[in-house]
């Protein structure tokens, strides 16, 4: 046993692991602790700190002042110092089923919870996460169901003149039934995101595994592209190295990504057992990805039979001249004349793009174009995009070919 312990210690000491504390220093903290009534307790050891706070999406939002006016931001609550310098905060009420994220603020500085290794990166911020199970949130968990596979690989884009990284989910049935062909959902991220966003923040693997296992969604591939035309891959995964992430992502909404999209479809159809026709292709995206989905699906009206706009940006910026954005009305007329099986628009009531979507639906209504609409609470946040995926995926590929 001593030999084993030495091995453990050596493992922990390797690198810069300071985790030996957990073995022979202070007792390890449990944080977050999800209590039996679904209240949650957070703990942080900081004997010298003057103030320890928590900010997270389970706290009531607060108004923050920005150059563009007031906006909602996650609320902040104080932790109380107890013995041994351990600060603690327990939520006032039980939390509803959901995947939540949070950070701690120690004397004004944002830090991650060292007791919680589960983190997600959203653009340039890394936050801790936890899940309150039950209801829809059970779809976000890894459950004992047949698991699909997730692959990060590369395709060549002739028009963008580069190799580009793509994330592809294949359902459990894909590897089990090796003669069968499958439909494909193309799932697009928002501004600041990349080919990792849906797989990590969006819980796509868990949602698809669970929906398919429950018989609620058909087995399908999900292809998660990188929508920044100038970017080979997510931060850290491309030849530019471990650069700092900033919001300067040229070529995000200027037509290049949309123009190149058939190259992705061609790659997927050439390398996977897909059913390579419109009836078996869907495209959906969040925010900028909704914008991309809207413009790609009308530009290539014979490519996708199912379209999902999640909290979508709609109109191109002024001054952008890509042919993709021209003749909008005529292209929509062509697309809707071909009667897509589903044109689905979803948005939250407090989303800053809410009015843009009202205007867009008004236009569709005036033309008599058929779409379905899903409206819920909250705004432009991942909570909603996960919900939209759980609503959208079950509607796909249910009609006979």
CA–CA distance, 32 with 261 (Å, rounded to integer)? 42
Give Rg (Cα) of the chain.
23
Q: Which residues inside 142-161 make contact with its own copies, applying CB under 8 A?
A: 142-144, 146-154
Three-state DSSP state, 56: strand
| Residue 229 Cα to chain centre, angstroms | 19
Of 330 and 350, which CB lies nearer to its own copies in the complex structure?
A: 350
Three-state DSSP state, 207: helix
- For its own copies, the binding residue among 124, 216, 359, 399 (CB under 8 A) is 124
Three-state DSSP state, 346: strand
Strands (E), 93-146: 98-106, 109-111, 119-122, 125-132
Q: Which residues inside 82-111 make contact with its own copies, applying CB under 8 A?
A: 101-103, 106-111
Residue 64, judged by CB atoms within 10 A of its CB (0-12, 13-18, 19+), counts as exposed
3 binds its own copies (CB under 8 A): yes
Quick note: the x/- pattern for its own copies over 195-234, rule CB under 8 A, is: ------x-------------------------------x-
The packing angle between helices 288-299 and 256-271, to 10°, is 70
Minimum distance, C-beta of residue 314 to its own copies, in the bound complex (Å): 11
- For its own copies, the binding residue among 43, 202, 379, 389 (CB under 8 A) is 379
Residues with Cβ < 8 Å from 327, sequence gap 6 or more?
none
Q: Which residues inside 271-310 make contact with its own copies, applying CB under 8 A?
A: 271, 287-288
- Torsion-angle region of residue 3: left (phi > 0), alpha (psi -120 to 50) or beta? alpha
Strands (E), 133-183: 149-157, 162-170
Contact 332, 298 (CB under 8 A): yes
Best CA proximity match to 79, nearest among 108, 47, 44, 110: 44
Of 119 and 376, which CB lies nearer to its own copies in the complex structure?
A: 119
- For its own copies, the binding residue among 40, 42, 53, 57 (CB under 8 A) is 57
Minimum distance, C-beta of residue 331 to its own copies, in the bound complex (Å): 21
Region from 18-26, 87-95, 217-225, 333-341 binding its own copies, contact rule CB under 8 A: 18-26
Region from 11-19, 210-218, 302-310, 388-396 binding its own copies, contact rule CB under 8 A: 11-19
399 binds its own copies (CB under 8 A): no
Region from 6-14, 90-98, 273-281, 386-394 binding its own copies, contact rule CB under 8 A: 6-14
Beta bridge partners of 156: 163
122 binds its own copies (CB under 8 A): yes
CA–CA distance, 333 with 292 (Å, rounded to integer)? 18
Minimum distance, C-beta of residue 224 to its own copies, in the bound complex (Å): 14
CA–CA distance, 27 with 7 (Å, rounded to integer)? 20
Region from 238-246, 324-332, 362-370, 390-398 binding its own copies, contact rule CB under 8 A: 238-246
Contact 272, 280 (CB under 8 A): no
Minimum distance, C-beta of residue 296 to its own copies, in the bound complex (Å): 18
Region from 277-285, 292-300, 333-341, 377-385 binding its own copies, contact rule CB under 8 A: 377-385
Give how many residues touch its own copies by CB under 8 A. 114
DSSP secondary structure letter of residue 300: S
Of 352 and 373, which CB lies nearer to its own copies in the complex structure?
A: 352
Minimum distance, C-beta of residue 350 to its own copies, in the bound complex (Å): 11
Minimum distance, C-beta of residue 38 to its own copies, in the bound complex (Å): 14
- For its own copies, the binding residue among 60, 117, 215, 400 (CB under 8 A) is 117
């Amino acid at each position: 046993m001593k030999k084993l312990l030495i091995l453990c210690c050596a493992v922990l000491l390797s690198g810069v692991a300071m985790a030996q504390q957990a073995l022979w220093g202070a007792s390890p903290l449990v944080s977050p602790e999800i209590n039996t009534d679904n209240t949650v307790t957070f703990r942080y050891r900081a004997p010298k700190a003057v103030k320890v706070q928590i900010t997270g999406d389970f706290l009531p939002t607060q108004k923050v002042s920005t150059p563009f006016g007031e906006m909602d931001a996650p609320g902040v609550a104080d932790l109380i110092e107890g013995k041994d310098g351990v600060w603690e905060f327990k939520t006032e009420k039980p939390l509803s089923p959901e995947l939540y994220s949070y950070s701690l603020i120690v004397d004004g500085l944002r830090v991650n919870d060292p007791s919680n290794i589960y983190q997600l990166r959203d653009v340039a911020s890394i936050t801790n996460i936890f899940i309150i199970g039950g209801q829809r949130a059970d779809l976000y968990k890894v459950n004992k169901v047949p698991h699909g596979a997730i692959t990060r690989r590369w395709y060549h884009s002739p028009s963008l003149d580069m190799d580009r990284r793509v994330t592809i989910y294949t359902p459990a049935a894909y590897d089990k039934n090796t003669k069968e062909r499958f439909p494909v959902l193309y799932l697009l991220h928002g501004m600041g995101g990349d080919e990792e966003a849906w797989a990590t923040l969006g819980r796509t693997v868990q949602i698809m595994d669970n929906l398919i296992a429950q018989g609620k969604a058909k087995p399908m591939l999900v292809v998660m592209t990188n929508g920044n035309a100038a970017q080979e891959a997510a931060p850290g995964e491309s030849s530019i190295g471990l650069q700092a992430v900033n919001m300067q992502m040229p070529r995000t909404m200027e037509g290049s990504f949309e123009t190149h999209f058939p190259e992705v479809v061609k790659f997927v159809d050439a390398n996977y057992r897909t059913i390579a026709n419109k009836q078996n292709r869907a495209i959906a995206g969040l925010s900028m990805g909704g914008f991309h989905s809207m413009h790609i699906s009308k530009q290539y009206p014979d490519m996708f039979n199912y379209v999902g706009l999640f909290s979508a940006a709609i109109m191109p910026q002024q001054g952008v001249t890509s042919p993709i954005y021209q003749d909008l009305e005529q292209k929509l007329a062509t697309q809707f004349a071909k009667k897509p099986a589903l044109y689905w628009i979803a948005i939250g009531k407090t989303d800053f793009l809410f009015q843009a979507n009202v205007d867009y639906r008004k236009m569709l209504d005036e033309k008599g174009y058929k779409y379905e609409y899903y409206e819920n609470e909250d705004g432009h946040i991942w909570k909603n995009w996960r919900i939209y995926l759980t609503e959208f995926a079950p509607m796909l590929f249910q009609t006979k070919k």
